Structure 1
Amino acid sequence: MRGEKLNKKTEITKAALELFAKKGFSETSVQEIADTVKISKGSFYKYFSSKRALMLDLLEEYHLKIMDRMNEYDWAKETSNQSLVTYIELEIKAWVEHQSFFYVLFKEFPPKCDVEITERIEKLHQTTITNHREVFSHIYGERLESYISDLVLLLEGILRESITQIIIHKQQDISPASIARWISHHINVIIQHMEEKEPLLQYNRQDSIPELIQDVKDLISRLAISSEKTKYNETITLIESEWKKTDSNPVLMEALLHYLKKHKDLKIKIWQLEQLLLQEDES
């Protein structure tokens, strides 16, 4: 039954996006969407309270998709120049899968047109910026740490224009892998000469261990399965307690972190926490 409901919701979303793209968001009625998927207008409202709620739901879905893409990135292995290609391709694929949605979003909802949608877009943007910072830090390490914000700025600009022109406006049929290789090549050419100039933007790593622990707790609170919440809450509490000890047990800490990393929604934050804990041990 749950699967049927999800399938119908996906069907409604797909039909709505096609109508929005063809006729415009304002010009498309809920009745037209309902007629397209052969349901009553009342049935539409069982899934979405309004057309706007449908757009907000899609924004949240894409936000989660971006986080899932980061979880597909193998942090243990991806440590070379090719790793940047891998990540960029993952992100572009997420855009491709939602290109109809973004075509409607950018066309129908210009900045500040809708406060809540603008806030969701900004939240999504901050997530991608954080992801880009983490990828650059992971691949290139301390050598380029002071240039991280510059690199993120460059990647954001190139990605935005590439996605807008090639994917959203469909000016050319180029695969995500080809775009990723092209972007990565030019970023790496810039990196070779980066230290010849002072950084344009100041980069300060703001995450701290207490903040990351709180982020993990917040993620755990949003998990659907209650039994998982209990186990993971106990685990992060043990990590916090162990971290505060002057003679913490590194073997126990490693085991606890490894346990939490197995959950895909916690993996990125736990990896970040693990890196900070290692840096603290070395200092």
Structure 2
Amino acid sequence: MHKKTEITKAALELFAEQGFNETSVQEIADAVQISKGSFYKYFSSKLALMLDLIEKYHYKIIERMNEFDWSRKTSKHSLAIYIELEINAWIEHQSFFHVLFKEFPPKTNLEITERIEKLHQTTVNNHREIFSHIYGDKLENYVSDLVLLLEGMMRESIFQLIIHKQTDIPSASIAKWISHHLHSVIQHIDEEEPLIQYRKQESIPELLQDIKELIKRIGNSSEKTKYNETISLIESEWKKKDLNLTLIEALLHFLKQNKDLKIKIWQLEQLLLQGERL
């Protein structure tokens, strides 16, 4: 096991047992038998380690949700299959998410909150896609309402039935129950006006244009030039048949350092991860 992985694993165990603020860097270092100075070779701070963990588990969730076979013909069971994959991802990494939500309530730390919002936006985008994929365009005006219902039902199921271990119910049964009730709602959904105004997700070209407009507003001419060159490289790379995803990720990371670009870059990143093409 790589030393960095050992450090994050030990840190997560200590955070779960003692709490984030109550755990010192020295204790983490002791747990993996390295010096405190060696810890700082891998992470600049305890917060940096936590941010790294969020990014790591963000991609673990994406990987699990991407196990859904989008190429297969859909049926009334497809939604349950997808929901079960997502529930299993949360169960598999429940110790991390327990620490995250217990130790970092909303707005406790700006950087942590931004990373959590990024994770949430990923799931929202996937939930929108799954409804459109299974039920087609007829639900377009109601997709935001359905995402709200799905996330509420999943959140309470995961926290109450699984994390707090109130009862032992298999994830497949939970997924089937949620999808059944959502399907029932969908049968009568057009009897009421949508509660939430639907806003169609922007495409990659639209996001690229939005980012270019934001770059124009940057006062520092040197930074503006660098950001323009970076977004041009991303656009050029994405048009190629064989993508260099490592290069794209590095370029996106550079752009995300500007707080005014961050949200749009996150949205672009999600589309790129989902395999959208220009």
- Greater fraction of residues in helix: 1
User: Which residue does the alignment assign to 1:196?
Assistant: 191
Q: Is 2:173 the partner of 1:178?
A: yes
Residue 151 of structure 2: which of 141, 147, 156 is its match? 156
Runs of at least 5 residues in structure 1 that lack an aligned partner in the other structure: 216-220, 222-228, 238-264, 275-283
CA positional deviation for 1:90:
1.4
Who is 1:247 aligned against? none
Residue 230 of structure 2 corresponds to residue 235 of structure 1: no
AA partner of residue 52 (structure 1)? L
Q: Please give the secondary structure, in 1, of the residue aligned with 2:195.
A: coil
Structure 2 stretches lacking a partner, 5+ long: 211-229, 244-270
Structure 1 197/233 Cα, relative in aligned 2: closer, same or farther at 3 Å?
A: closer
Aligned length: 233
Contact 1:213 1:236 in 2 (8 A): no
Which runs of at least 4 in structure 1 moved beyond 4 Å after TM superposition? 212-215, 229-233
Corresponding residue for residue 205 of structure 2: 210
| % identity of equivalent residues | 69
Contact 1:69 1:94 in 2 (8 A): yes
Residue matched to 2:6: 11
**Preserved contact between residue 88 and residue 180 of structure 1 (Cα < 8 Å):** yes
TM superposition score normalised by structure 1: 0.73
Which fold has the larger relative contact order, with Cα–Cα distance below 8 Å and residues 6 or more apart in sequence?
A: 1
Match of residue 84 from structure 1: 79
| 1:103-125, Cα deviation, whole Å (9 max, x unpaired) | 11111111111000001111111
Q: Distance in 1 between matches of 2:185 and 2:173?
A: 19
CA deviation profile, 1:161-184 (whole Å, cap 9, x unmatched): 111112322222333222211211
In 1, distance between residues paired with 2:12 and 2:54? 13
Letter in 1 for 2:160: Q
When structure 1 is superposed on structure 2, of 13-22 and 127-136 the one drifting more is: 13-22
The TM-score with structure 2 as length reference comes to 0.74
Separation in 2, partners of 1:213, 1:110: 33
Instruction: Report if aligned partners of 1:15, 1:37 keep a CA contact under 8 Å in 2.
Output: yes
In the alignment, is residue 121 of structure 1 matched against residue 116 of structure 2?
A: yes
For 1:125, the aligned partner's letter is H
